[in-house]
Amino acid sequence: MFEKLAAQAPDSLLALIGAFRDDPRPEKIDLGVGVYRDAEGRTPVFAAVKAAERRLLETQDSKAYLGPEGNRAFARAVAPVVLGPLAGDERILGVQTPGGTGALRLAAELIAAADRKARVWLGTPSWPNHAPLMKAAGLAIKTYRHLDPATQSICFDEMIAALESAAPGDVVLLHGCCHNPTGADLSPAQWDQVAELLAARKLVPLLDLAYQGLGNGLEEDAAGLRQVLDKVDEALIAYSCDKNFGLYRERVGMLFVRGRSGAEARIAFSNVLTLARTNWSMPPDHGAAAVALILEDDALRADWRRELDAMRARIASVRAELAAADPAFAALGRQKGMFSMLPLSKETIDRLRKEQAIYMAGSGRISVCGLTPGNLPRFVEMVRAALAAEGRP
């Protein structure tokens, strides 16, 4: 049977993890996968997570199954963080998923089950896993340009024109904040315009919020999403705690489904649970249980907020430093979150890796917090030289 299979190339982004690990050069710089690093280049476990894990170790008295919904305390605690005043609305129901990817996959399967003809509109470039995830559920993708590489700004007119040509019932995948890979987010006024258009054309937003707290602030980063929810009837939200709680490998996420009524939301939710059962049956509990403990405990929650605020401040300071270092990086100072894209050719990106041990995604995406006071000057110098060699100022 397996002789019928064609070999698949490894995921190019994830392959960087292994390539970087195996590189013996001490000066190597990792700007690949989206994992936060502090000024010493470490990705520490949050102190609040450690404390919650200790408490779990001492108090958890069973590992019995919880069911396809996962940890209910987690879902109850996360809802207000994401939805603000909309938490508790009977039209919005949430299920725990293995990471944001699990939520996206579940969303895609729910869309396909509801309307196989629905197309998913995606601004490009996007996270490289978005399109494959949607296609894996049998959905067709329609694309429009999110970012103009020449100006490093959002092609908002192209986005509006694309959405005006979408059919009612089509799905629009939007990054809630900290756009991956470009760092170029919609302004509040642009969110408003998009929300109006989604409502007018009866398009269904699929909001991917994987970096809440790493852009402008915890509340601020959910503002666009809430603006959309205020206007539309139906929506899906794929949420991740992997980054803002530093729980990456624990895979902690959530899918929210917003229906036109409580009754419709409950029907959609029953479908979500059935789909979860045929995918992973039940999500892993450990990370979600730790998040629930943190959010329910004032002291742990305050610790978590402090650490998250420090992460955001560090990301902003690296961006400011890059922008001040060279006009070539000016746009990075305006962009938000972990990622930005450098307008480098594929050959240059390969050369920087081979000759300088500077690792970035093949698209030119850099994870900015891979830069530290120790390696930033060399990085700026090498990229400046690479741009000059490409004949760019």
Residue 98 sits in the site that holds ligand LMR (CB under 6 A): no
| Enclosing H/E stretch for 141 | strand 140-145
Identify the DSSP state of 233. Answer: S
> Which of helix, strand or coil describes residue 350?
helix
Residue 325 sits in the site that holds ligand LMR (CB under 6 A): no
Residue 107 sits in the site that holds ligand LMR (CB under 6 A): no
Yes or no: say if 133 and 101 are a contact pair by the CB < 8 Å rule. yes
Identify the DSSP state of 262. Answer: H
The answer to whether 23 is a known catalytic residue is no
Q: Name the catalytic one among 243, 276, 331, 336.
A: 243
Distance CA 211, CA 57 (A): 28
- Amino acid, res. 378: R
Distance CA 131, CA 146 (A): 14
CB of 262 to ligand LMR, least distance (A): 33
CB of 62 to ligand LMR, least distance (A): 31
Distance CA 225, CA 178 (A): 12
CB of 64 to ligand LMR, least distance (A): 30
Residues numbered 125 to 144 that lie near ligand LMR (CB under 6 A) are 127, 129
CB of 18 to ligand LMR, least distance (A): 14
What phi-psi label fits residue 40: left (phi over 0), alpha (psi between -120 and 50 degrees) or beta?
alpha
The answer to whether 127 is a known catalytic residue is yes
The answer to whether 113 is a known catalytic residue is no
Yes or no: say if 149 and 341 are a contact pair by the CB < 8 Å rule. yes
Of 34 and 176, nearer to ligand LMR (C-beta) is 34
Q: Name the catalytic one among 185, 208, 221, 242.
A: 208
Among residues 20, 29, 31, 33, which is the contact residue for ligand LMR, using CB under 6 A?
A: 33
CB of 284 to ligand LMR, least distance (A): 16
Residue 246 sits in the site that holds ligand LMR (CB under 6 A): no
Of 162 and 241, nearer to ligand LMR (C-beta) is 241
Among residues 20, 34, 304, 315, which is the contact residue for ligand LMR, using CB under 6 A?
A: 34
- Amino acid, res. 41: G
The answer to whether 231 is a known catalytic residue is no
How many residues line the site for ligand LMR (CB under 6 A)? 6
Over the Cα atoms of the chain, what is R_g? 21
The order of strands in the sheet holding 119-124 is: 92-98, 252-258, 235-240, 204-209, 171-175, 119-124, 140-145
Residue 13 sits in the site that holds ligand LMR (CB under 6 A): yes
Exposure string for 331-357, b = 16+ CB within 10 A, e = fewer: bbeebbbbbbbbebeeebbebbbeebb
Residue 290 sits in the site that holds ligand LMR (CB under 6 A): no
First to last CA, the chain: 55
CB of 97 to ligand LMR, least distance (A): 14
Of 104 and 166, nearer to ligand LMR (C-beta) is 104
Q: Name the catalytic one among 30, 48, 107, 127.
A: 127
Residue 97 sits in the site that holds ligand LMR (CB under 6 A): no
Q: Which two tokens stand for residue 6?
A: 């064609």
Q: Which two tokens stand for residue 300?
A: 């742990």
| Enclosing H/E stretch for 238 | strand 235-240
Residue 255 sits in the site that holds ligand LMR (CB under 6 A): no
Binding mask 152-191 for ligand LMR (x = CB under 6 A): ----------------------------x-----------
CB of 34 to ligand LMR, least distance (A): 3
The residue ranges that bind ligand LMR (CB under 6 A) are 13, 33-34, 127, 129, 180
What residues are annotated to the active site?
Answer: 127, 208, 210, 243
